[in-house]
């Protein structure tokens, strides 16, 4: 896996392979981000189901 490091102060852009620790970290970040979104979507779907409306219908109500 490649990481791009852009030093804003100097303008230097470095492209390098991630270390083992960095790979582990980003994989965990990705996994956690998906998990958070999945849980949110599940809660949303459950609520929509209880209300008996679709996501599009809910959006129409809110809009």
Please name the residues in contact with 7: beta carbons below 8 A apart, sequence gap of 6 or more: 13, 14
Tokens 């083992």 -> residue? 20
- We find the least distance from the C-beta atom of residue 37 to another protein, in angstroms, to be 7
CB atoms under 10 Å from CB of 27, counted, come to 12
| Smallest distance from another protein to CB 40, Å | 9
Nearer to another protein (CB atom), residue 25 or residue 49: 25
- Where do contacts with another protein occur on this chain (CB under 8 A)? 1-11, 13, 15, 18, 22, 25-26, 28-30, 32-34, 36-37, 39
């Amino acid at each position: 896996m490649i990481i791009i490091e852009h030093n804003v102060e100097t303008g230097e852009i470095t492209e390098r392979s991630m270390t083992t620790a960095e790979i582990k970290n980003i994989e965990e970040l990705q996994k956690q981000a998906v998990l958070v979104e999945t849980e949110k979507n599940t809660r949303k779907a459950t609520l929509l189901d209880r209300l008996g409306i679709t996501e599009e219908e809910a959006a129409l109500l809110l809009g």
